[in-house]
Amino acid sequence: MKRAELIFTAALVPIDYLMLVLAGLAAYWLRTSAWIAESRPVLFGINLPFEKYFGLVIVIGLLMLAIFALSGLYEIRRTNGLLENFARILIGVSAGLAGVIVFSFIRREWFDSRFLIFAAGLLAIFFVLFGRIITRIIQKFLLKHYNFGVHNVLVIGGDKISKEMIEEIKGEPSLGYNLVQCFQELDLAKIKEAVDGGSIDDIILANPDFSREQVLGLIDFCEERRLNFKFVPNLFQALTINVEFDSLAGIPLVELKRTALDGWGKITKRMIDFLGSIFCLIVFSPVMAVVAILVKLDSPGPVIYKNERVGPDGIFNTYKFRSMKLEYCTGSQYDKDGQASSLEDDLAAKQSGRRGPVFKIMNDPRRTKLGRFLEKSSLDELPQFFNVLLGNMSLVGPRPHMPKEVAKYERWHKKVFNAKPGVTGLGQISGRSEIDFDEEAKLDAYYIENWSLWMDIKIILKTPFVVLFGRRGR
């Protein structure tokens, strides 16, 4: 860990505390300001003197820091995403606010203003986030202009993954990596020479398919030179991310779990899906009503189009707003003679913009004018919240595909069936339909193996930006 990262992580504690105190003071100022007194005289009176209130803000701010620490806001990381920070701050402040409400219920004489409590909580979210944004801007400025905190790296590997990693390091200087040298082969003598000839902080083994002796020799060398050693896991190492230890007849057993989505993870995800789908259906109901009317006016046929997809429990129907003319809709209820399916196969063979078993027909002539807009804006997928409510889809997960596409899956592709398909997912926010299916399947496999509630929150928050601005809208 670079000293710069330790400095900025440690600096977040006093900065967050300052922002929490300022948020509390701003809430008090709003509560007692003249313009509120003029508009809502009943709110103006307050039985909490400023001195007593300020003392409470000091104490509550310290308690908030403890909650932030439990929320993971002070974990030492090389980078912290804005959306992840926002999600953790929101949860941390909400937990602290709940504690204050309970306390004020017990000791009512301390807080007699609901406005003061909720204003302080709301302002705390944005003040703390603002402080972290400013800190991150300063960190990036020092990184770019003074190389403060830059990791000088040496990458080993000549395969496709290695090349993608090298291109990402070169193309994204804000990641904080500076590529000093790269080797296609694990030649320890050349690596020692490179380390002796320049300042290197990290050695990244991007291709794991070297011999055990070579890798162990490299690890020993990194420990000897106090270099950070990072590596891309191979298949077995990736599988051992989720393990459970047990014993049988006194003999230790290690179970390789298919996904972290077991036990309470599965229960929590289903609860969030149920409540989240109800919330989304309520929020988007006006938009869905308008889209339904427009679809009905645009072309004859049903508003909702049911299409077969495959999930962990077999085939089910997904719900979408119809974006094609009725005679071109595939499915048993619309395509009794199979002509629409045959046309779809022909178009997929000629005009697909994706490689692999899953196709994406470019300039699809079957779509209506409204349908092109619905598909591009993803508004056609809003009815899939009903699928989430019913339980055959999740808010976040791998994209569901048609049976004829699944029939062409390779064996490793079927790992996606270890989780329910989702309305959005890691593959969608990483390139939507522009990436090839193999890349999408790898991202989905990573999601399944590394699932966490934080990951779901980040994907959900990131989805609108990707829909509006594309992949670089992150």
Cα 306 from Cα 187, distance rounded (Å): 56
Check residue 239 and give its pLDDT: 54
Query: Tell me: the pLDDT tens digits for 305-354?
Result: 888 899 888 899 999 998 887 777 776 566 666 666 777 767 766 666 56
| Type of residue numbered 306 | K
Phi, psi of 352 (to 5 degrees): -70, 135
For residues 111-139, give the mean pLDDT.
Answer: 86
Cα 94 from Cα 466, distance rounded (Å): 27
Q: What is the largest CA-CA distance in the chain?
A: 80
Please list, in sequence order, all residues whose beta carbon lies within 8 angstroms of the beta carbon of residue 78, skipping any fewer than 6 positions away: 2, 5, 151, 176
Confidence of residue 395 (pLDDT cuts 50, 70, 90): very high
Check residue 431 and give its pLDDT: 63
Confidence of residue 107 (pLDDT cuts 50, 70, 90): low
Cα 315 from Cα 338, distance rounded (Å): 19
Query: Tell me: the pLDDT tens digits for 12-25?
Result: 999 999 999 999 99
Taking residue 429's Cβ as centre, other Cβ atoms within 10 Å add up to 23
Domains of the chain from N-terminus onward: 3-146 (no CATH), 151-232 (3.40.50.2300), 264-473 (no CATH)
Residues facing residue 324 across a β-bridge: 367
Instruction: With beta carbons less than 8 A apart as the criterion, state whether 242 and 259 touch.
Output: yes
Please list, in sequence order, all residues whose beta carbon lies within 8 angstroms of the beta carbon of residue 362, skipping any fewer than 6 positions away: 351, 352, 353
Check residue 247 and give its pLDDT: 46
| Type of residue numbered 431 | G
* Mode of pairing for the β-strands spanning 243-248 and 251-256: antiparallel
Q: Could you tell me the two tokens for 237?
A: 């190492």
Check residue 237 and give its pLDDT: 58
Q: Is the pLDDT of residue 406 over 60?
A: yes
Please list, in sequence order, all residues whose beta carbon lies within 8 angstroms of the beta carbon of residue 162, skipping any fewer than 6 positions away: 155, 156, 182, 184, 206, 207
Mean pLDDT of the chain: 81
Confidence of residue 36 (pLDDT cuts 50, 70, 90): low
Confidence of residue 42 (pLDDT cuts 50, 70, 90): very low
Choose the weakest-confidence range: 15-24, 58-67, 113-122, 185-194: 113-122
Check residue 130 and give its pLDDT: 95
